[in-house]
Amino acid sequence: MKMEYLHPRNILVETLQRLYDYGMTTTSGGNLSIKDEEGNIWITPGGIDKGSLRPEDIVMVTPSGEIIGRHRPSCELPFHRSVYKLRKDVRAVLHAHSPALVAFSLTGKTPDASLIPTVSKLCGKVAFAKYEIPGSEKLGNIIADEFAKGADSVIMENHGAVMCGDSIFQAFARFEALDYVARIQINATSFGKELEFEGKMKGTEYPEFKAAFASAKECELRDEMVNFRARCYRQRLLFSGNAFLSSRLGEDDFLVTPANFEPMYLDAYGMVRMKDGKREAGKTPALSTSLIRKIYEKCPWVNSVIMTRPPYIMAFAVTGTPIDSRTIPESYIMMRDVPFVSAKEFFNDPDSVVAKFSPSTPVILVENCGVITTGKSLLEAFDRLEVSEFTAKCIIMAKKLGDVNPINQSQVDDIIADFKLPK
C-alpha cells in the first residue's frame, strides 16, 4: 500500500488508533509526531481521548514555535523537539505505555532484542533513560541524549518507551517488535533462563519471472492470504518483523508474503509468486522461501505453511522448552506431538527440518525463531497456529496454579482412534 500521499494528520490518527486498539496505550497516554519536509512538527494533542481522535485534532508546530490547531500539543513536545534537533535522520517519534515495556521500565531493565532473529536489527540500539518529570525540558534532554548517542529505542524509567524512525511506520514497527520481545521474556520466566540465539538469517537470490496473467485461482488465493494476514494480526499472532504465510498454487508454484512485510497494510498485490524457483519480478520473498519450497516438494499433503512468533509459544521457543500438546483434546487433535528443532539445525540443515513434517506431525517449534504450522488449506494452517498459541497460554497460566496434568497415553490412543487421526 502506497503511503506517499497520506497527510501527516491521517497517519498519526491511524497509528495512534493501532496503539490504542492493541492495548499499547491508554485513553490519555502516549503521543506521536512526524516532522515534515518543511520542518513542521505534527503532533498529537494533550488531554484528548485517544480512542476517538480525529485528523482535525492533530496540532502543527512550526520551526519558529508557532502552534497551529484547535488543541494544545502533547506535554511531551519538548522531547520530540529535542530528538529532531539532535538526530537529523529522524522523521518520526513515538511514545507509548504498553504494559510489558512499562514492566521493564519499572525494573530498570531493557528487553533483549537479540533474543529473536531480525528483531535486533529492526529495533536498533535499545537504551535506558533515567526518570524525570513528564513534559519537562530535563526529560527531553535526557531522552534526546540517548538518541544522540545512537539509540533508536529508549525505555524510560517508570514511564514507558519511546522510539524514533525515518517514518512513523518504522517507529511503530520498532515499538511493536520490542513490545513482543518484552512479552515473550516475561512469559519465559515460567520456564527459566532464555537461550542465546545462535544462527543467522540468510536470504537467497532468485531469478525473476514475469507472469503473463493472474488466474482466477491465483487472485482468489491472494485475497485469502490478505484476509488471514489481517486475521493473524488482529489475533496478535504476528508482529512487524520477519514471518510468513504461504499457499500452494500448483507444482513448484506458490504464493508467499514478502520479506519484512508490514502486517497492517499488506495487500493482494504485495504477495510474491514463486514459480520453478523464480520470484515474481520486482518483489522480494520471505527469507525462509527456500524452506517453504522444500516443504511443498517433500510434503504433497501440505498446501499452506505459516511461521510466526506469538508471545506465549515463543516463551517455549526461547527457553528450549518442548511444548506438550496433550492438554485438552482439541490441542492434541490440531497440533499432535510437536518436535522441537534447534536454531542450528533450522539454519544449517533445512532438509532435516522438512523431514520432521508428516500428516501426524503438522507443527514444529523452532528454537528462538517461532512456530511453523502446516495444513491442507490456509484455514487449517491458521487454526493450528491459533491453537498452538492458545495451548501455550493455557500451560503458562496453569503453571502459576500448580502442576500441569496432561492427558495420558491411553486417552491419547482413544483420541487417535475416535477421530481417525493419521499415525
Strand residue runs (E) in 130-243? 151-156, 160-165, 208-209
Q: What is the b/e burial string over 189-227, where b = at least 16 CB atoms within 10 angstroms of the residue's CB?
A: ebbeebbebebeeeeeebeeeeeeeeeeebeebbebbbe
Question: Could you tell me the CATH superfamily of domain 8-188?
Answer: Class II aldolase/adducin N-terminal domain (3.40.225.10)
Same topology between domain 8-188 and domain 208-418? yes
- Sheet holding 31-35: strands in order across? 67-68, 59-61, 41-43, 31-35, 92-96, 160-165, 151-156, 125-129
pLDDT digits (tens, 9 = 90+) for 336-380: 999 999 999 999 999 999 999 999 999 999 999 999 999 999 999
Pick the CATH number of 208-418 from 3.40.710.10, 3.60.150.10, 3.40.225.10, 3.30.930.10: 3.40.225.10
Q: Model's pTM, two decimal places?
A: 0.92
Task: Output the average pLDDT for the chain.
Answer: 93
Query: Does position 387 have pLDDT exceeding 90, yes or no?
Result: yes
- Give the tens place of pLDDT for each residue, 45-59: 988 887 889 999 999
The amino acid sitting at 205 is E
Average pLDDT over every residue of 388-396? 97
Boundaries of every domain in the chain = 8-188, 208-418
CA distances from 123 to 194, 294, 377 (A): 19, 31, 34
Compute the distance between CA of residue 136 and CA of residue 405 in angstroms, rounded to an integer: 53
Cell matching residue 232? 493473524
> Closest Cα to residue 157, out of 182, 127, 184?
127
- The dihedral through the CA atoms of 209, 211, 215, 218 has a sign that is positive
Residues 6+ apart with CB under 8 A from 414: none
- Give me the pLDDT at residue 195, please: 75
Helix runs in 257-377, H state only: 289-298, 313-317, 329-335, 343-348, 350-355
End-to-end CA distance of the chain: 44
Query: What's the rounded mean pLDDT across residues 53-82?
Result: 94
Residue 234 pLDDT > 80: yes
Rounded to whole angstroms, how far apart are CA atoms 245 and 418? Answer: 31
User: Which contiguous run of DSSP H or E holds residue 246?
Assistant: strand 244-250
What would you measure as the largest C-alpha separation in the chain, in angstroms? 76
Task: Go through 318-351 and write b for each residue having 16 or more CB atoms within 10 A of its CB, e for each that does not.
Answer: bbbbebbbbbeeebbbbbbebebbbbebbbeebe
